Amino acid sequence: MDNNLQDYSHKRYNILTGEWVLVSPHRAKRPWQGQNETISNEQRPAHDPSCYLCARNTRINGEINPDYKDVFIFTNDFAALQTTSPIFSVNDGLFKAESEQGICKVICFSPDHSKSLADMEVEDINKVVEAWQKEYILLGSNEMINYVQIFENKGAVMGCSNPHPHGQIWSQSTLPNEVEKKDQHQKSYYDKNKRSLLGDYLKQELEVNERIIYQNDDFVVLAPFWAVWPFETMIVPKKAYTNITELSASESLAFAEAISKITKAYDALFQTSFPYSSGIHQAPTNGENNDHWHWHMSFYPPLLRSATVKKFMVGYEMFGSPQRDITAEQAVDRLKALVK
């Protein structure tokens, strides 16, 4: 790779969205006198009687959680999308709006309030993967639903209101913005080359081996060339599967192993329970031919220099384009050394 990329400002192109990120490696040396986050490393109990997500506890709507032993899923008590929304549209000059219907669920990864994915055994993470697969099928089979978004917000700094290990699944009638962009770019490449865009990208990444953090027989964990967040990573299946339900039992376990490896490395990086937003982008459930899709899981962690220094998306990022200081390759060097 060109050494200039490690020393001088430049732009990198995101092949999945068609957008650019500004990289300014020389800025990593600047002194920091900005805000320092408060990171809590308190030891949480295995069961918190005040937690709405713990087993046997009563949620805000009055329902009592079952005495679950592994994964527990329920419809979000404060869902952002509704099945009862009427179908309507507004086309009034430059005022345009459309109704949106959907189903939102909460998925508790474990009954143990003290854990995160990084603390769980691979076999237990695999139960989460299997639950994701079942929900993708269940929700996607609903005629109203054309996309299923699986994600997790971990840590208060990412807006997570409850520390219990959990994620969310939002399913909706249309494709959200990021998915729409990735759908278009993957389809354009597939139509032209008859191959997966991410498959060809992954082949090139494996050849240069500069941004690979971990790999097993079925998955690769890497920092994408166009990464925006300081320690952003992506888990990509080596086979061009369109969605997570196409995984075999052994591949599902390999995916769980990849999740375990990167989340443990994150926690080891700054010796803290590492905050992030993660999400799986996969083929829509719209009944169309989506052979151009190559599903993947991304992690967007906000921490920059330490457990207390956060990357803020403000100023130029809000009005111009995303910008980062440390390069993807520098981030990989640090994360790769922590994979056990």
* Residues with a known catalytic role: 166
How far is residue 25 from each of residues 7, 129, 176, 265, 311, measured CA to CA in Å? 6, 36, 32, 23, 14
**Rounded to whole angstroms, how far apart are CA atoms 37 and 309?**
6
Specify the residue for token string 């994701």. Answer: 132
207 Cβ contact list (under 8 Å, min separation 6): none
**Rounded to whole angstroms, how far apart are CA atoms 204 and 199?**
9
**Rounded to whole angstroms, how far apart are CA atoms 256 and 121?**
9
